[in-house]
Amino acid sequence: MAIQFFFLLIIVTYGQEGMWLLSQLDQLDLNKKGLSIPVSNIYNKDNPALCNAVLELGGGTASFISPEGLIITNHHVAFAALQRSSTVSSDYLTNGFLATNRPDELKASGYTANMLMDMKDVTSEVTEAAKGVTDPVEKDKNINAKISAMTDALEKGKDDINARIVEMYNGKQYILFVYKVFKDVRIVYSPPLSIGNYGGEIDNWMWPRHTGDFSFMRVYVSPNGTGKEYSKDNIPYKPKIWLKVSNTPLKDGDFTFIVGYPGMTTRYRTSTSVNWNQEYNYPFAISNFIEIIDLMDELTKNDAAGKLKVASLEKSLANVMKNYEGKLEGMKKTNFLQKKINFEKDFLKWANSNPGTKIKYGDILEKEKEQYKLIASNRERDDILGIFQGLASTQLSIANAIYSVTKEMEKPESEKQPGFNDRMIQETIDGLQYSYDNYYEPADKALLVRALKMADTLPQDQRIHGLDYILNDKSKTIVQFVDEAFKTSRLSDVEYAKNLFKKSSTELAALNDPFINMEIGLYPVTEEMQKTSQTFSSNVTDIRKQYLDALYEWKGKTLYPDANSTIRFTSGQVKGYQPRNAVWYYPLTTLQGVVEKNTGTEPFNAPAGLVDLYKKKDFGKWMDPGLKDVPVAFLNQCDITGGNSGSPVMNAKGELVGVVFDGNYEALISDWQYDFNLQRAISVDIRYVLFVTEKFGKAGFILDEIGVPH
């Protein structure tokens, strides 16, 4: 039975719940729960600690595991880098990659790694900028301007420093995070897809799991230690601290903890937000992604090169789609919306129980409902506009970047978006080339045709009038328009596209490029949507902050903030779970399970060399003495979400025992609520990582580097 929402408002007896800020660790009694090292070994504001070995990488997490800049992360975190470097003749994605010496390590195009250097509370400094301001939109504007000024000052003249000030608790607190940025990341060893993605989308988010979801990469810097772009003169970074691999067998009941970069949770949202996502947001996204994936499959079924090009897009869409499906199923299965409504009835009963709280909080939930009317009025149009902004062809996305930056540059300084500066523009230009890495013209054409046809079905009051010149043109069909656009546009040339950032909006219009013309037509309605979204965001964030104030006042306990891509801590025991009646899932899987699932057909096509190692029982030192087999994956009760992929799992001594790669399907609603009985993190066991690396990959030198005997 799912726990009630109000249990989130206390520091629960179970240390498992919560993605805690590092500054909150002293509140958690971790040594009483099983941690055998001082908390200061995990986070120390004055000295290097384990948290400084953990990196933000490619939308996921990684960690240093050697003094020579070697890092470990997930295969699926390294997926895009492998795909970008692959061709049909050198398919590193399918066949894996191994660099037997450092000059052969493969450039991870488009990847940067961020290492935490400092964090501190700057709430008073930030909120001072909005003192006396009552309008939420104006308040947001002042705060964002202050944040930009503070971070710009820290970054000025430092190309490898990234400063971010992030709000917690919807603006009750602001924390400054300062990172060292590594712009040269290279692939050292990645197993073949048949290990790294064993089970594919069938097993994704499921348990039992038998996936070797890991890759080794290396971080490089210039000879003077600066995080510079890829260069043959760069040298491996030498971290002050790196994780040591455990030599103690992991077992059921062991205390473990995770430090990583979880993306986003929504645990303090109201029933209004739940209803919006359950009824509109998730269903639309699921159907949209299903259609695109099916389209890509159909277009590339007889085209190996095309399949490789769309692989990264398909994988990311399929992953999010299944995640949303799990959330939606979990909401309905647990009657989550009604639970929220019931909780809010109790809240309102408390709020209305005395005049003071009634004035402050009595109408707060109704105020939030009113704000949702802002985004509901053009929901159908805005859903389609969202597709045009990223899933309607590479060239249109490039045109969007060019024209949006140009229009922003032409605005008066006071009207520009906070954070819009030369550095941001240059990063946009530098990142263009990665958009082309996945370019496959048949897919791009099909995506644009699909988006235009969807726009053509919008009701009259939701029409995107900037596209009327296409949709109302009786002289040519949508397909004909798209064919002509691809023939005449020069935006398939990355260098040409980069040079367009130097032009004015008038000069861009004069080019008469079909994709830029489309963007010119879309820009006014996109601006309108963004302004509405900003108003909604500012107003609803202010209301949610008041709601959190009310929860504090009502329950009087400590809260952990929702995840927001900042570094967090979570802990829990290795433990199985009961997904349904009469079924119990054990917390560890083994190589035997890999072989049992093997059909020889993707995605259960275990490599012959791996199967042979099992048949010969050639396990080396990686056999678990209790299991009499090589452990593959394990479950623990740590509290994670997207972004934690690649996070290190450590034991009570702070030693590396695994790498997080997934959560369990039954608990995908966990972004909204934690369930002690069901929620589990799924990780690849470090022993399987080392077994595959040494025995299958013939890369024992990696084990030597990380100090592991074999």
| Residue 653 included in any domain | yes
Rounded Cα–Cα distance for residues 422 and 156 (Å): 11
**In sequence order, what are the beta bridge partners of 97?**
190
Residue 623 is predicted with a pLDDT of 97
* Region of residue 225 (phi > 0: left; psi between -120 and 50: alpha; otherwise: beta): left
| Residue 175 included in any domain | no
| Residue 272 included in any domain | no
| Residue 108 included in any domain | yes
Q: Give the chain's domain count.
A: 1
Alpha helices in 576-661 (DSSP H): 591-597, 608-615
* Average pLDDT per 10 consecutive residues for the chain, totaling 710 residues: 35 65 95 97 96 97 98 97 94 97 96 97 96 92 94 94 96 96 98 98 97 98 97 97 96 98 96 98 97 96 93 94 96 96 97 96 97 95 95 95 94 82 87 86 97 97 96 96 97 94 95 97 95 95 94 82 97 96 97 98 98 98 96 97 98 98 96 93 98 98 97
Among 688, 690, 682, 691, residue whose Cα is nearest residue 208:
682
Positive or negative, the Cα torsion across 443, 444, 445, 447? Answer: positive
| Residue 493 included in any domain | no
Rounded Cα–Cα distance for residues 391 and 91 (Å): 25
Rounded Cα–Cα distance for residues 15 and 28 (Å): 7
- Give residue 73's domain range: 19-112+183-266+562-705
Residue 11 is predicted with a pLDDT of 40
Residue 552 is predicted with a pLDDT of 87
Domain CATH for 230: 2.40.10.120
| Residue 575 included in any domain | yes
Element holding 114 (H helix, E strand):
strand 113-121
| Residue 485 included in any domain | no
Can you give the pTM of this predicted structure?
0.93
| Residue 409 included in any domain | no
Active-site residue numbers?
Answer: 76, 213, 645
* Region of residue 43 (phi > 0: left; psi between -120 and 50: alpha; otherwise: beta): beta
Residue 557 is predicted with a pLDDT of 66
